[in-house]
Structure 1
């Protein structure tokens, strides 16, 4: 007589049974392996990050119109991005602590509501100073959404599929970016720029629809919630900043190098995300529709880069994937920014590998940072390192803004390549975590 299988525990209920996981090696095996609850969590995190991206890009896409409306110089427009990213460090750190203390889903809802409300508020700004304040407050929610959503899904994903699962979450950024470019192209083609930039910000109310669905349908991974509740030190900055000592390894070294890694990658990325639209308009003399077309090509590369990088981070490992695409991203930036005048076809063609490489490097971030920290402080660690890196990396697009008048936007984009060099060096202080179980 065969022995019946043991009953499934609360810890295993959200995942498929072993028999159900037998065919999880196909193209969508990672999605099946999440189970019903995990797939709902995936949908909530994907939608939240896509709309996070949409609300972020309302600024770079309207930057030329804003500069003309308020009479801003390059340094002032660059400061709008910088303050968003700097304040996002505060928002991300706080969201990480909340994720460890009140749960992943509740923290996710708070971040989405925050970035949506203040994106809409930007559209009502009567002057530059008010816009700066609203954009800073938008950064509070913007900073926390990715870290919380990534942890929520990482705790449902299997070690085997975690890289490609989180890479798929990262691809939501390209989806939101695409939506922003489409809406921007339509709005600025139909309306006067002085009104169009306001309408663009007002469309940032879209996330309200997502909030209703997440509130009703998404739950934290059971075993992660249980482990978090058992820990006496959940959501503690002291734990992630504690140096090691004999017999008691600390997390300070991990935190320092993870911040440097995040600084380099995001410094490079946000330099491009902030200034490429301006570069295409002012130095390539493209129209609104022309800029949208070139950005669509860039974003297509980004979407495929997220998915490919997610697969490679499981195959090559977290560190090798980041090293590979840090090098390729730096090369692409230098080539893209130094094309001769009149080479518009090359600008179009190089946009695809540029978008591909600078996005593929991000695919491993969700899984890598989640695997570097224990469950009780996973939100705190990931929120702090990712968003502190984002804040420090904000110096890079600011430098481009202040040097654009003398170097040209294209010449100043070299700071993006420097950022990727910092990321490659940071990996020397971090371990490989591929295959690590989170609970």
Structure 2
């Protein structure tokens, strides 16, 4: 932890503010995947409809991320971050009052706008605040907050469903998801714009030209390859996390407590994976780190769902599954920020990360429909294998960006990607 003692007070405040925000987003977002089995029974909806809600949330999150990237280039990183957390908290709360499938679909989609926007604005803010030699570690630590939020969601789910009837339990979970947002708003009022990002903020008239500039000849290759990595990384991850609780309960026939036990192993592994990736990417580089974790994901996901094994063996294999799934998203924040010049960084990062979300939204929907004609585990394994294979191919097309001083990244440097 010598590196942590080296960084400034501003860097620490920014790090932990982004960490807290991402953890709270993780709580509210992962609660939906946990209550899918309840909604299937309570409302009598099919797996395809449940997958559609998850997919719509991802699409809306992608659009929110794109918008937040443009807003952060225009108005600044901190202001964009504050807007997104207020939006996300509001629609998380309103989701508790949905009366049918259609209402929940709309409210979860609107919630997704804030969820996607927060990652983009926070990632750019943190990357521009942290010094180059510690940027990967900081981004990996913040990504681990999603695991802590996921763990919080599982604990809340187990507690609430143990004492509250299912018809009301899921509503209570969505309702209390708004409470911690006040802490995040307080923290963000104490974080300032990084000096390197404060000067070149675009005017409103410059925003659309800046958005078009990520497709300029000098950076279009970077944009395309980065977007492909986003598609594969999100496609594999969301296919697994959206349907894993349902897979464990319907095909492995685990109780709620059993599902929580298996998820606890995977979540712990996810957190460990983020820390491992944070350390590795500042040592071996972003590109090799992404490839390494993607190959390991392909192997472990297919072992997990295709090999016949008992519950004990599956429990042990859950740890590498969660660990390797964490490595790629823990690297994307640093990688994407280091590929773009400052004037279009928010827009570029928002597009690469969130275009992947838009396309990957089809993966949970596809898994749900495939699950009607084949075992759900088989659908998960096939989709995840294709997604992570795409990550490997795309990463081979990128340069190494480790230790790149992002304040000096130019369009010419980006074009070499």
Question: TM-score scaled to structure 1, two decimals?
Answer: 0.90
Q: Could you say which residue in structure 2 is the equivalent of 1:258?
A: 226
Q: Could you say which residue in structure 1 is the equivalent of 2:257?
A: 289
Q: Could you say which residue in structure 1 is the equivalent of 2:347?
A: 380
Q: Is the 8 A contact 1:112 1:145 kept in 2?
A: yes
Q: 2:192 aligns with which of 219, 229, 238?
A: 219
Q: Could you say which residue in structure 1 is the equivalent of 2:412?
A: none
Instruction: Give 1:429 shift.
Output: 2.6
Q: Does 1:83 align with 2:50?
A: no
Instruction: Give 1:436 shift.
Output: 0.5
Q: 1:66 aligns with which of 25, 39, 46?
A: 39
Equivalent residues in 2 for 1:112-261, closer than 5 Å: 112-228=85-201, 236-242=210-216, 244=217, 250-261=218-229
Q: Could you say which residue in structure 2 is the equivalent of 1:350?
A: 317
Q: Is the 8 A contact 1:84 1:135 kept in 2?
A: yes
Instruction: Give 1:113 shift.
Output: 1.2
Q: Does 1:309 align with 2:283?
A: no
Q: Is the 8 A contact 2:20 2:184 kept in 1?
A: no
- Alpha-carbon distance between aligned partners in 1 of 2:78 and 2:180, rounded to the nearest angstrom: 15
**Which SS does the other structure have where 2:177 is aligned?**
helix
Instruction: Give 1:203 shift.
Output: 1.7
Q: Is the 8 A contact 1:48 1:207 kept in 2?
A: no
Q: Could you say which residue in structure 2 is the equivalent of 1:432?
A: 400
Q: Which has the larger radius of gyration?
A: 1
Instruction: Give 1:68 shift.
Output: 1.0
Instruction: Give 1:28 shift.
Output: 4.2
* Bigger mean CA deviation after superposition, 34-43 or 78-87: 34-43
- Alpha-carbon distance between aligned partners in 2 of 1:315 and 1:231, rounded to the nearest angstrom: 40
CA RMSD for the aligned pairs? Answer: 1.6
Q: Does 1:46 align with 2:19?
A: yes
Question: TM-score scaled to structure 2, two decimals?
Answer: 0.94
Q: Could you say which residue in structure 2 is the equivalent of 1:4?
A: none
Q: Is the 8 A contact 2:82 2:185 kept in 1?
A: no
- Alpha-carbon distance between aligned partners in 2 of 1:348 and 1:260, rounded to the nearest angstrom: 32
Q: 1:271 aligns with which of 239, 247, 262?
A: 239
Instruction: Give 1:325 shift.
Output: 0.5
Q: Could you say which residue in structure 2 is the equivalent of 1:330?
A: 298
Segments of 5+ residues of structure 2 without an aligned counterpart are: 408-417
- Alpha-carbon distance between aligned partners in 2 of 1:412 and 1:224, rounded to the nearest angstrom: 44
- Alpha-carbon distance between aligned partners in 1 of 2:202 and 2:367, rounded to the nearest angstrom: 45
Segments of 5+ residues of structure 1 without an aligned counterpart are: 1-26, 245-249
The superposition leaves residues 127-146 of structure 1 with CA deviations (integer Å, 9 ceiling, x where unpaired) of 10000000110110011111
Cα–Cα, structure 1 residues 150 and 215, in superposed 2: closer, same or farther, change >3 Å?
A: closer
- Alpha-carbon distance between aligned partners in 2 of 1:96 and 1:231, rounded to the nearest angstrom: 13
- Alpha-carbon distance between aligned partners in 1 of 2:345 and 2:12, rounded to the nearest angstrom: 21
Q: Is the 8 A contact 2:136 2:334 kept in 1?
A: yes
The superposition leaves residues 109-142 of structure 1 with CA deviations (integer Å, 9 ceiling, x where unpaired) of 1111111111111110011000000011011001
**Which SS does the other structure have where 1:98 is aligned?**
helix
Q: Is the 8 A contact 2:74 2:204 kept in 1?
A: no
* Bigger mean CA deviation after superposition, 50-59 or 207-216: 207-216
Instruction: Give 1:231 shift.
Output: 12
- Alpha-carbon distance between aligned partners in 1 of 2:179 and 2:344, rounded to the nearest angstrom: 31
Q: Could you say which residue in structure 1 is the equivalent of 2:411?
A: none
Structure 1 residue runs of 4 or more that deviate by more than 6 Å after TM superposition:
none
The superposition leaves residues 36-78 of structure 1 with CA deviations (integer Å, 9 ceiling, x where unpaired) of 1121111111111111111111110100001111111110010
The superposition leaves residues 297-343 of structure 1 with CA deviations (integer Å, 9 ceiling, x where unpaired) of 000100000010011111111110000000000111001112326x1
The superposition leaves residues 276-317 of structure 1 with CA deviations (integer Å, 9 ceiling, x where unpaired) of 100110011111111111100000100000010011111111
- Alpha-carbon distance between aligned partners in 1 of 2:71 and 2:203, rounded to the nearest angstrom: 16
Q: Could you say which residue in structure 2 is the equivalent of 1:390?
A: 357
The superposition leaves residues 317-373 of structure 1 with CA deviations (integer Å, 9 ceiling, x where unpaired) of 1110000000000111001112326x1111211111000001012221111000011
The superposition leaves residues 55-110 of structure 1 with CA deviations (integer Å, 9 ceiling, x where unpaired) of 11111010000111111111001001100011111110000011111111111111
Q: Is the 8 A contact 2:74 2:203 kept in 1?
A: no
